[in-house]
């Protein structure tokens, strides 16, 4: 029904790679490369910056991909016919999470939605904030869950608040800091720190913690977003790390770790980000409401 080159182009934008797009579509990489190049010549401008790390959208390319994505999505909805008419929640809800350490926020909401809407399917992926913005803009995800502060500066993104997350620092049982009668930030700055991100909302706090004491913050910081790795490092060293206050109250956590009685991070608002020019569908709205109802935020 539509020019197949549009599907090639949108797939590259969503996956960030000509190779990955070809694999997903089921054609050769040369076919995708040629199709996109032909389309760029017809448009008169480059849709992608080709880099060693993959294909990144240009400013003009981002606008074109948004429109092309909408056309393809509308065609898909049209061809669903009676299924969509009978159940507006039927289909796949594409959810992005950034950073990946926030995926646990989806446990209760997705469980509830699975029971409420039997024909709703989820496609959850996590990535860096920079890649998630590109995926949201290109339509690779329908809704992105993350820190409000990270999305705030993007005018083409509509932020729907869902709650606040309190983060705390934790250490292994028996850590020297637990023996201190009065804990200070000067004491904390003596040890390595593990954070899921060096950007908002953690980055500014961490940089100030070390730089205000004449220390180079990068010499002290590990950026690791996979909690099993983080917990192993903390359990086997004197490093400190960041964890949500709600997870820190769990029995499994308390068997090995303790939080530090010092408030370093302010409560961080969490939001669901959607494209400002597109009204989120019923499934995306249901996810937003389920997150707001969750006790985990």
User: In whole angstroms, how large is the CA radius of gyration of the chain?
Assistant: 22
Question: Do 178 and 262 fall into the same domain?
Answer: yes
Q: Is the distance from CB of 204 to CB of 198 less than 8 angstroms? A: no
Domain boundary among the residues 40, 75, 110 is at 75
Give the pLDDT score at 77.
67
Distances (CA, A) of 151 to 52, 130, 134, 269, 295: 26, 10, 12, 11, 23
Domain boundary among the residues 42, 75, 108 is at 75
Whole-angstrom Cα distance, residue 105 to residue 2? 38
Give the pLDDT score at 18.
93
Whole-angstrom Cα distance, residue 143 to residue 275? 8
Please provide the DSSP assignment of 118-142 as one string.
TTEEEEEEE--HHHHHHHHHHTS-S
The CATH number of whichever domain residue 142 belongs to comes to 3.40.190.10
Print pLDDT tens along the chain (297 aa): 578 899 999 999 888 899 999 998 999 999 999 999 999 999 999 999 998 888 988 988 888 887 888 788 777 766 765 555 567 888 889 999 998 889 999 999 999 999 999 889 999 988 888 888 888 887 778 999 999 998 998 888 999 999 999 999 999 999 999 999 999 999 999 999 999 988 888 999 999 999 999 999 999 999 998 899 999 999 999 999 999 998 899 999 999 999 999 999 999 999 999 998 888 889 999 999 999 998 777
Burial 233-263 (b: 16+ CB within 10 A, else e): bbeeeebbbbbbebbbeeeebeeebbbbeee
Question: Do 122 and 258 fall into the same domain?
Answer: no
Question: Do 27 and 140 fall into the same domain?
Answer: no
> What is the tally of structural domains in the chain?
3
Distances (CA, A) of 213 to 27, 70, 180, 188, 189: 56, 51, 20, 11, 8
Q: Which residues pair with 97 in a beta bridge?
A: 126, 145
Question: Do 151 and 87 fall into the same domain?
Answer: yes
| Angular region, 37: left φ>0, alpha ψ -120 to 50, beta rest | alpha
Q: Is the distance from CB of 4 to CB of 11 less than 8 angstroms? A: no
Question: Do 273 and 160 fall into the same domain?
Answer: yes
Domain boundary among the residues 75, 105, 129 is at 75
- Domain containing 62 equals 1-75
Give this prediction's pTM. Answer: 0.73
Whole-angstrom Cα distance, residue 165 to residue 103? 13
- Using CA atoms in the order 247, 251, 254, 255, what is the torsion angle rounded to 10 degrees? -140
């Amino acid at each position: 029904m539509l020019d197949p080159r549009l599907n090639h182009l949108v797939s590259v934008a969503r996956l960030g790679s000509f190779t990955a797009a070809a694999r997903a579509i089921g054609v050769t990489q040369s076919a995708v490369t040629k199709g996109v190049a032909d389309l760029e010549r017809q448009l008169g401008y480059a849709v992608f910056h080709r880099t060693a790390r993959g294909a990144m959208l240009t400013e003009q390319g981002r606008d074109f991909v948004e429109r092309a994505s909408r056309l393809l999505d509308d065609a898909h909805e049209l061809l669903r016919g009676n299924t969509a008419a009978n159940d507006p929640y039927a289909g796949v809800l594409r959810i992005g999470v950034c950073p990946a350490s926030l995926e646990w926020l989806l446990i209760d909401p997705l469980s509830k939605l699975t029971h409420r809407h039997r024909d709703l399917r989820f496609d959850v992926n996590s990535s860096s904030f920079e890649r998630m913005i590109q995926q949201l803009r290109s339509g690779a995800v329908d809704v992105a869950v993350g820190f409000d502060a990270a999305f705030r500066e993007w005018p083409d993104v509509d932020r729907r608040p869902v709650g606040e997350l309190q983060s705390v620092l934790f250490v292994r049982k028996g850590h020297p800091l637990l023996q201190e009668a009065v804990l200070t930030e000067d004491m904390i700055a003596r040890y390595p720190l593990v954070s899921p991100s060096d950007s908002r909302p953690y980055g500014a706090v961490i940089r100030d913690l070390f730089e205000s004491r004449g220390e180079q913050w990068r010499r002290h910081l590990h950026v690791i977003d996979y909690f099993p790795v983080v917990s192993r490092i903390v359990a086997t060293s004197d490093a400190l790390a960041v964890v949500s206050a709600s997870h820190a109250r769990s029995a499994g956590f308390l068997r090995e770790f303790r939080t530090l009685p010092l408030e370093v991070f302010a409560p961080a608002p969490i939001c669901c980000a959607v494209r400002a020019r597109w009204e989120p569908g019923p499934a995306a709205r249901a996810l937003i409401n389920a997150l707001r109802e969750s006790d985990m935020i």
